[in-house]
Amino acid sequence: MSDHIRIVVAGAERQVDTGTTAADLFADDPAVIAARVGDQLVDLARPLADGEKIDPVPIDSDDGRAILRHSTAHVLAQAVQELFPHAKLGVGPPVENGFYYDFDVAEPFTPEDLKQLEKRMQRIMKERQQFVRRAVADDEARAELADEPYKLELIGLKGGAEGGESGPDGAAAEVGSGELTIYDNVRRGGEVAWKDLCRGPHLPTTKHIPAFKLMRVAAAYWRGDESNRQLQRIYGTAWESKDELQAYLDRLAEAERRDHRKLGAQLDLFSFPEEIGSGLAVWHPKGAVVRRVMEEYSRQRHETSGYEFVYTPHITKDSLFEQSGHLSFYKDDLYPPVHLDAEYDAEGNLRKPGQDYYLKPMNCPMHTMVFKSRGRSYRELPLRLFEFGMVYRYERSGVVHGLVRSRGFTQDDAHIFCTPEQLAGELASLLEFVLGLLRDYGLSRFRAELSTRPEKFVGNIEDWNQAEAALEEALKKAELPYTINEGDGAFYAPKIDVHVTDAIGRSWQLSTLQVDLQTPVRLDVEYTAADGTRQRPYMIHRALFGSIERFFGILLEHYAGAFPPWLAPVQVASIPIADHHVPYLDEVAAKLRERGVRVDVDTSDDRMQKKIRNAQTQKVPYMLLAGDDDVAQGAVSFRYRDGTQKNGVPVDDAIAEIVDAVERRVQV
């Protein structure tokens, strides 16, 4: 056997001693905590083989953070079993920005328990315990983990838990299709302190955890199934430095301050009355103003771009959604049907069977009915249909979240019917339109994902290839940064998802462009081509905001409630210094209203300074104050939302400045 092997390290070929590990290769770089060998992430302690390609995995990379967080989850589980010896282990995968671990315990964890667990975790980290991987046979694993019923169940899942560590039930973090492995946490003297079933990889030692915090406790059903036992889930976060941890906690605090549900109540915009039902919002006058302005501007832009508006019912026979395929694929997400139209004779015998009706979960089948209402010629294409269509989906109570995940919402839904030859140009135009309209609402940082044909799909490959090529060409023309999600398209269509980054760095998935290859077939949609033959159009689904409600919630958080002047529910607060100045400000307000400006005159009994504070609390963009000198000069004191003020501004100048800011949609 040769004493040397040849490997490729970060793209460069090297000769190293047999038995060399990734830890040996990257010993001079303490930021490297794991390695990628080919397509597989591995522990640094793994010996390398001849011909392998190895790349370092630094702790501040996406893969590095996932490994850090999964290792921290192990330390948490060890601490739990040291402090609560009867606790049974569930799963502990990394998730976005952190990790969790599920436990079966007699009593729920308390905030005091979390403090004690953090102290025990810090002790484990100081011990510099090694994460040591070893392969085990199924029988060995069952013998070693005989007291862990949930781990025993996972062992039985081997081969069926693929899908990555962030799978829906976390099982893939433990077992996959390959060999079973257990990780021992080993003290410096060689004693095994704790062990867990795990695929890995992990940090070299517990000392390599730079910064962590336990966040909260929640109830969770084993493997996400409500028919299973309820466990206790501890959420935590871990970062590559204390500074990064603090920055994350600061972002969370800022996100909490911007929570649209709190702002909605503080600014009197909307609410979710228990009497109406979970996930169903009512819009208060101020919120309705903002929503109306958003919709009117969107409507105007659509009309300018050649869209035609339609309206469709809130409810339909089940047969339409059966034919479109939505019922079979999404039935669990729909409200239960209403059974109507049954007829009985005088003796109570059924004379005519009834019909199930469903609240519509999406608009596309109904828009297709508009297209089919009469014969269509190629000369009418592309036909762009648009609707602010209210839809209903029975989201589970655990995922309902204010306006951004509700049960009744309004899709700004467009469906474009075009010929195959028009597809590429239409997609490029659509994407340009989408980005332009989002920019008008003050959003500017975008990225996209192109999801391509999955392994199981319907239709022919030629159509898929044409649709995917047209979508990618549209992304290139828009010069929009994008990644390709291979095989992540729907079974019937590839798509583009546009993500936007908000003011505090969070990414939101907003607009979707989807080339539907199947609905025209399922619903028998055709047009007459130039040669007189009947052809199927391509159908493009385009949701720009996703839903008005969700987009409103995102904007509310993006602006922290301080909407730009053109969107603000109250654009101007007029504040008299004394009661006898009210008539003067009423005249100013009348002039503003003539120019379409939304203005309130504060006639309350509050003192002037309290009125100013009230306007600031309500995040009104402009305040116009008037006293004796202002009345005499035909002027106002012009106060801005940031607290700056100009005195003695002629009324006409003040009105002109406000109107100009509104018309130009300035983002202040």
Instruction: Report pLDDT digits (tens) over 88-115.
Output: 999 999 998 999 999 999 999 999 999 9
pLDDT band (50, 70, 90) for residue 164: very low
Set 74, 393, 453, 639: catalytic member: 393
Predicted local confidence at residue 279, as pLDDT = 92
Residue 233 appears among annotated catalytic residues:
no
Question: Is residue 415 marked as binding?
Answer: yes
Question: Is residue 401 marked as binding?
Answer: no
pLDDT of 162 > 50? The answer is no
At residue 255, what is the residue type? A
Predicted local confidence at residue 179, as pLDDT = 82
Percent of the chain residues topping a pLDDT of 90 = 75
Q: Which two tokens stand for residue 239?
A: 């970062």
Q: Which two tokens stand for residue 386?
A: 């648009």
Task: State the angle between helix axes of 62-83 and 111-126 in degrees (0 to 180), rounded to the nearest 10.
Answer: 110
pLDDT tens, residue by residue, 312-332: 999 999 889 888 887 877 788
Q: Who wins on pLDDT, 546 or 226?
A: 546
On the CB side of 293, CA atoms within 13 Å amount to: 23
Question: Is residue 86 marked as binding?
Answer: no
Q: 62-252 maps to which CATH number?
A: 3.30.980.10
pLDDT tens, residue by residue, 477-494: 999 999 999 988 887 789
The CA-atom distances, in angstroms, between 14 and each of 17, 73, 414 are 10, 36, 56
Predicted local confidence at residue 177, as pLDDT = 56
Average pLDDT for the chain: 91
Any idea of the CA torsion for 149, 150, 153, 155, to the nearest 10 degrees? -100
At residue 403, what is the residue type? L
pLDDT band (50, 70, 90) for residue 603: very high
Helix (H) or strand (E) holding 192: strand 192-197
Within 10 angstroms of residue 303's Cβ, the number of other Cβ atoms is 12
Q: 565-664 maps to which CATH number?
A: 3.40.50.800
Predicted local confidence at residue 165, as pLDDT = 40
Return d(Cα 50, Cα 306) in angstroms, integer: 62
pLDDT of 167 > 50? The answer is no
Please give the average per-residue pLDDT across 577-588, as a whole number: 95
CATH superfamily for domain 4-58: Beta-grasp domain (3.10.20.30)
Set 169, 364, 518, 581: catalytic member: 364
pLDDT band (50, 70, 90) for residue 161: very low
Set 69, 495, 542, 611: catalytic member: 495
In this structure, which topology does domain 274-314+360-559 adopt according to CATH? Answer: BirA Bifunctional Protein; domain 2 (3.30.930)
The torsion angles phi and psi of 392, rounded to 5 degrees, stand at: -135, 130
Task: Say if CB 557 and CB 263 are below 8 A apart.
Answer: yes
Q: Name the one residue in this structure whose structure tokens are 């609390």.
A: 617
Helix (H) or strand (E) holding 486: none
pLDDT tens, residue by residue, 178-188: 689 999 999 99
Set 78, 129, 130, 411: catalytic member: 411
Please give the average per-residue pLDDT across 53-70, as a whole number: 96
pTM of the predicted protein model: 0.83
Predicted local confidence at residue 385, as pLDDT = 96
pLDDT of 1 > 60? The answer is no
Residue 606 appears among annotated catalytic residues:
no
Task: Please state whether the peptide bond connecting residue 201 to the residue before it is cis, i.e. omega within 30 degrees of 0.
Answer: yes
Among 244, 296, 186, smallest CA distance to 60 is for 244
Q: Name the one residue in this structure whose structure tokens are 């106002």.
A: 636
How many angstroms from the chain centroid is the CA of residue 659? 35
Please give the average per-residue pLDDT across 29-47, as a whole number: 94
pLDDT tens, residue by residue, 503-522: 998 999 999 999 988 889 88
pLDDT tens, residue by residue, 218-228: 999 898 877 78
The strands making up 408-418's β-sheet, listed across from edge to edge, are 308-309, 383-392, 408-418, 538-543, 507-516, 495-501, 445-451, 482-485
Question: Angle at the Cα of 444 (from 96 to 558), degrees rounded to 5?
Answer: 60
pLDDT band (50, 70, 90) for residue 563: very high
pLDDT of 168 > 70? The answer is no
Task: State the angle between helix axes of 582-594 and 651-663 in degrees (0 to 180), rounded to the nearest 10.
Answer: 40
Q: Which two tokens stand for residue 101?
A: 């671990």
Of the listed ranges 31-40, 48-57, 321-330, the one predicted with least confidence: 321-330
Predicted local confidence at residue 170, as pLDDT = 61
Among 72, 34, 82, 74, smallest CA distance to 55 is for 34
Of the listed ranges 155-169, 420-434, 475-489, 571-585, the one predicted with least confidence: 155-169
How much of the chain is in helix, strand and coil states, percent to nearest 5? 35, 30, 35
Residue 302 appears among annotated catalytic residues:
no
Predicted local confidence at residue 172, as pLDDT = 65
Please give the average per-residue pLDDT across 242-246, as a whole number: 97
What DSSP designation does 241 have? S
- Domain spans, the chain: 4-58, 62-252, 274-314+360-559, 565-664
pLDDT band (50, 70, 90) for residue 171: low
Residue 70 appears among annotated catalytic residues:
no
Please give the average per-residue pLDDT across 267-288, as a whole number: 95
The torsion angles phi and psi of 413, rounded to 5 degrees, stand at: -105, 125
- DSSP tally for the chain: helices H, then strands E: 19, 35
pLDDT tens, residue by residue, 108-136: 999 999 999 999 999 999 999 999 999 99
Set 223, 286, 326, 541: catalytic member: 541
Of the listed ranges 247-256, 389-398, 585-594, the one predicted with least confidence: 389-398
The torsion angles phi and psi of 575, rounded to 5 degrees, stand at: -125, 110
Set 258, 302, 415, 453: catalytic member: 415
| β-pair type (4-9, 53-58) | parallel
Residue 580 appears among annotated catalytic residues:
no
The torsion angles phi and psi of 342, rounded to 5 degrees, stand at: -70, 145
Predicted local confidence at residue 163, as pLDDT = 41
Please give the average per-residue pLDDT across 571-584, as a whole number: 95
Residue 4 appears among annotated catalytic residues:
no
